[in-house]
Structures are given as structure tokens and as C-alpha cells.
Structure 1
């Protein structure tokens, strides 16, 4: 199987110049053939495949006005074309939006698909030579590719994709259900004990610092050197917020994975939740990032991650007798079951129900939760929520179809009620 290690690299001045040229050439190739594909479709009704773009790129580099495209390694530019083709395929498969033009003012990245190696604890890249790197572990297997990126704060990182041995399912631990929220980030029930973890709210923590930096930026003259410096200062605050959140979620997910063999959680649509008035808190909590971290870390160690359907009424069901409280709303944090008179904490009760539902899914030998509706609640359909089915043969790169998010809108109602 394949594994990824992201490390920070420290190129010298010559290597920084070479990387800047590679970033620019890769960005130009992406934008040039994205525009050419759209234009060709408007004229002929057909787009361009990767083979057609790669063949045209070979002829383009022979022209006098485009000789500078020969400076970076050819594999980097070809990889940019492959990424463009993949972007179109993902768009047609409804996994993402229509490909956009790249800007030099955002994050830059290129991929070296071959001829990369580790030498004396550093990274050796084509046409760059040995680049100083901070490796956190030894890589003794074959390296498949290396993706080099530059952040807005002028830091360089390398994501190393390498082969590793197959994992054996030897992990032992508990089965826990986790309920996600904003008051308590997670509520965990492992069958015996129940505990909560509060969110750290990094955006609100650094809000004052960010406001001061942005005020200073707004006073600078556009196009001046001082403004460019102020932009980097603001970017460093945003980077601090992002790093604080990721560090907390990495540590929390590591603790959950170390303590459990199976983790059960809700399959939330965070994109839909981010359209509500709770958008700032949703983004600040990083719910989707936490589930992603837990999922891949469990997979690496041979555990299982079970996601329960978003319409499962985990908060409304009594974990003792199974009675459903339809009158429960978001403002009620504790309630008494009318069936067995048991007193429930809203989040603890939801985590217990999620754990029980996850055990039921494992006992029925179902993969994930794609085939089970899990007592989904009746939700009123909005008129324009139904997905419009269009044949993929009629779609083209130049005519992006309207992306309807009915499923995301449904999950908003479920999250607010849970």
C-alpha cells in the first residue's frame, strides 16, 4: 500500500528561483489548456484529452515565444496536464466543481512523478539537486512521487508518496461512539465511561491579533512594498490559526485511535452546515477534518471507522428503552424520557445510541452505511433539492452544470436537532 509523509524543506536561493520558475510554468500550462479546452468545445463540441494536450504541449515548447517552458523538467508539466484531466473527471462524477484558473497569489504546488530519492537525510529532486529537508522518520522503500508546495508565508513543504508494507489487522481496543457538536466538540462513550472534549476555538482566540493586523494592512497603499509585507503578516496569523487547529485535532484523533478498535460517528455534511448561521463555529471546530484524521489513522492501524446515516435520530432516541422524543429541539440539553423516566444528557445519550447503532451495523456485516437507512427521520423536501439527472455524455468542460446540494441541506436540519 501507499503512505504519505509531509515534511518541511529549506531550498537555497538558486533552488528557490528554480522552484518559482517551475511553479509559474506549471500554472501557465494549466491555465493555457483549460482555456483551450473550453474554446475548442465551444467551436467543435468536443474537449481535449490528456494525450492531445501533451502532444500539443510538445509542439508549443518548440515555439520561440514559449522556449521558457523547457526550463522545468518535462514530467512536471505533464503532471499538470494529468491533474487537469483528473479535475474534469471529478467534475463529471459530481465530486467537485468545475476546474478554475490558477492564480500566482495563492498557494503554489508542483509534483515530481519520478526520479526522487532520499540522500543523507535530505530530499533529492530533478533539476534541483539535494534539498535540505526535516524528515521525521526514515523512508527505506520506493518513492512514487513528491509534491512540493509553497505557502503564502514563503514556507516550502514536500509531500512524499512512498510504498509501504500491507497492514495486518492486529489492533485491539474498545468500540466507542462519538457525538459531534459545538458546545462539546466530541462526546465519547466506550461502553463503560462517557467523557467530553471541549473545542479550543482558535479563530476566536486569535481574533484580536488578526483584527489589528488587518487594520494595518488596510492602511497600506496598494502595490507598495509595505503592503506586500503586511499581507504576509496577516497570512502568518491565519497560518497560526490553522496550525493550532490541526495540532489539536491530530492529538485528539491519535488519542481516540489509540484507545479504540472501532469508532462510530455520524456522517455529517459539513459543507451544508457551513451555510447556516453557525458557519464560523463549524469551520473553527474542524468537524470534517477530525473525522478525516480518525478515518485514515484507524485504517493505517487496522481498525474500523463506521459512519451512521445523518438522519439517524441519535439525540431523540432514549438509550434505555428506545422511546423517541419528537418534541426535542436544539435548546434542550437535558430531557426526561416519558417512557422509562430516565434522565438524559443530550450529547451523552446521542453517543450511546451511535455506539449501539454501530454495533448493529457490524453485526449485519454491512460495509459502512450505504445500504442501511437506520431509522431515518421524515424530512420535508424543499422544491429545488432534488438532484437533476443529466446524461454525462451531454456534459462538457465548457458547460458546468448546476450543482444542487439537497443532501447537504438535509444534514443541516439533522445536525441542529442532534
Structure 2
């Protein structure tokens, strides 16, 4: 399987200027290619092929005075920008024809130099390398200092240099990782994700919701107010924008770190993990949108998914409409209407339930029922 390994970069001022030039050239090629295809479509001409588009917006454009500066950056960067455009169009056409599952995809749109995130990609054809001194050597940019927090498991096939809104630079390596199965264990767990507690496990454990965004609302509000008091386009406005972006970046980093540590611990402790297939996009349209985004359920489940595949574990997703909260985990009786403010309830069979723990136990039982090795065995856990 392929994974991404991210590391922090610390380019010199000259290298920052070279990276900014590369960002601008890649953005220009992408926009030129998009404009050429839009004009061909408006004129009723056939769809431009990938090779013809590359010849027009890169090879021939370099020979003109208006685009001669495209030759100052690596040609691989320009080709990869055009490859991103071609991929976007293929996904759009596949979505229109119904070949691509999931929500519909909009056609590609122009990239702006004011975007918070800028990125360029180098493949093996660019001959990037890691020097003996541990620096990342990029063509026409130089040797960039890297903070190696861990070793790469294999030779990277590509590297993407990213500049975020906070002005930080990162190198994202794509590497092939072999499966590393962990020792077999009999433990299985069901997880009920929520807002009061981030996760409630079927064994009764409750993981508190860190609420990283809520805890830093005062700092973010002050940074936003300081930005609103500056003149638009001034140097003070740019500084305030970076300050606000750094505050948001700290929140995102803390949330990502929490999700990584928790998902790794759950995968290591359990042979099978069962979660609900939540519709986070729909929940984000409610009045709880801020809390839903702050929880980061989708990122957490995605981490569980790829870590389970890497370490030989099983991840099961059950239907989001499964009545996990109102179903008695002891006798299987379905309770009536139950408002959200009811956090504990008693079943006529005599069992008393914590709503979240009961939901996690029912999620585990439903996941066992869907697994092939559960056929003929005991599905519902003991009371």
C-alpha cells in the first residue's frame, strides 16, 4: 500500500523565492490548460488530448516572450500541474457518466495566487534526492533543510512541496509500505462517536472530547479582530493574516495528533474495530456544525481504515440508520422514541443502560453479524 510521510522544511530566503516562482509557474500552466479546453469547448471543437495540451501550454508557450519564464523551473513541475488538470477532468467526466461513485464532482476551476495552500510535485523523472547530509535536493531550487521525525520505509516515488496558510513548508513523500501484521488478539471493540465524549467503546471506556477549537476560541477571536482592524492589502494585514493562520494551524495539528494516537492505540489493542458510517457532511449542516467539524470524525475513521489494512486488523462500517441507541444490548428489544437528552434508560427486561455504552455494544454486535467468520457463532456480547 502507498502512504504519505510528511516532514517540515526550512528553506532559505533564496529557496523561498525559487519555490514561489515554481508555485506561480505551475499555477499558470494549470490555468492556461483549463482556459484552452474551455475555449475549445465553447467553439465546438473536439476535446484537446493530453499530449496536444502539453505541446500548446508548455512547449510552445516557452518560446513566446509572455511565457518565457516558464523555463526557469523544472519541467516536471509543469507536467505534473497539467496532469492534475487531466485527472480533474477525468473525475468530472466519470462523475457525469455515473462511473464514479459518491457525490457529484464539479468541473475544474482556475487556481488563484491568493489560495491559502500552494503545492508543486516532483516525480522520479525530476531526479530529486536526499543528500548524505539529510537534505532534500530539488531541481532548480537547491538543498532544502528537512526535519526528519522518522525514517522513510522505502524509496519515495514522488515528493510534494506544500506551503500552507501559516507560511510553513512541508515535504510530502509517497512511499510503498509493506503490510506489517500485528500479533493476533481476541479483543474486538465497537465505537460510538459523539460530541459529549469523542468516542465511547463497547467495553465501557469513554474518551473525552478534547474540543481543540472551542478551547482556543478566545485566542482565535482576538486574532480575527486584530485582522479586521487593519487596512486591506497593507503589510499589517498580511502579518495579521499569518498570525490568524498560525493559530488555526496549531488547532489542526493538535487535532491530528490526538486522532493519530487514539487510532493507533485502538488498532493495536483490537483485532476487529466496528464503527458507524456517519454522514458528517449532513451533520455539518445542522446547528452543531462547529462542534462536528471540531471533532474530526472523518479523519479519525480514515486513520482507522488505513491502519487496519496496514497492521492486519479488520475494520467494519455498519449502516448509519442502525438503531444502536434504542436497541437493548441484553435482549434485543427496541425502545420507543428517545430524545437526545435521555442519556440512560431501563429496558423492560430489567437491564439498565448507559445510552452511549449500549450503542457501542450494539455497534459491535452488528459488526460481528456482518463479518463472515461470525456465521454460526455468538454475535451479541454477554450482558
Normalised TM-score (structure 1): 0.82
Aligned residue in 1 for 2:118: 108
Deviation at 1:364, TM superposition (A): 6.0
Aligned residue in 2 for 1:350: 359
Aligned residue in 2 for 1:332: 342
Deviation at 1:224, TM superposition (A): 1.2
In structure 2, which of residues 177, 197, 203 is the aligned counterpart of residue 164 of structure 1?
Answer: 177
Deviation at 1:329, TM superposition (A): 2.8
Deviation at 1:90, TM superposition (A): 2.4
Aligned residue in 1 for 2:22: 22
Cα 1:365/1:63, change in 2 over 3 Å: farther
Q: Distance in 1 between matches of 2:282 and 2:46?
A: 34
**CA shift digits 1:11-42 (9 cap, x unpaired):** 11221111111100111111222222222212
Partner SS state of residue 316, structure 2: strand
Cα 1:278/1:346, change in 2 over 3 Å: same
Matches within 5 A, 1:9-408: 9-44=9-44, 46-57=46-57, 58-91=59-92, 92=95, 93=100, 96-105=105-114, 106-114=116-124, 115-120=127-132, 121-139=134-152, 141-168=154-181, 170-172=183-185, 174-189=187-202, 193-338=203-348, 340-363=349-372
Q: Distance in 1 between matches of 2:47 and 2:288?
A: 41
Kindly tell me the number of residue pairs found equivalent between the two proteins: 362
CA contact (8 A) 2:5 2:152 kept: no
Partner SS state of residue 182, structure 1: coil
Deviation at 1:129, TM superposition (A): 2.8
Q: Distance in 2 between matches of 1:56 and 1:356?
A: 59
CA contact (8 A) 1:173 1:259 kept: no
CA contact (8 A) 2:153 2:177 kept: no
Deviation at 1:316, TM superposition (A): 1.6
Deviation at 1:173, TM superposition (A): 5.2
Q: Distance in 1 between matches of 2:86 and 2:280?
A: 27
Cα 1:45/1:264, change in 2 over 3 Å: farther
Aligned residue in 1 for 2:381: none
Partner SS state of residue 185, structure 1: strand
Partner SS state of residue 127, structure 1: coil
Normalised TM-score (structure 2): 0.89
Q: Distance in 2 between matches of 1:20 and 1:351?
A: 49
* More deviation, 66-75/124-133: 124-133
Tell me how large the CA RMSD over aligned residues is: 1.9
Deviation at 1:66, TM superposition (A): 0.5
Cα 1:49/1:349, change in 2 over 3 Å: farther
Q: Distance in 2 between matches of 1:273 and 1:285?
A: 12
CA contact (8 A) 1:171 1:301 kept: no
Partner SS state of residue 179, structure 1: strand
CA contact (8 A) 2:181 2:310 kept: no
Q: Distance in 1 between matches of 2:107 and 2:182?
A: 39
Q: Distance in 2 between matches of 1:100 and 1:326?
A: 49
Gap regions ≥5 residues in structure 2 = 376-383
Partner SS state of residue 351, structure 1: helix
Deviation at 1:100, TM superposition (A): 2.5
Deviation at 1:140, TM superposition (A): 6.1
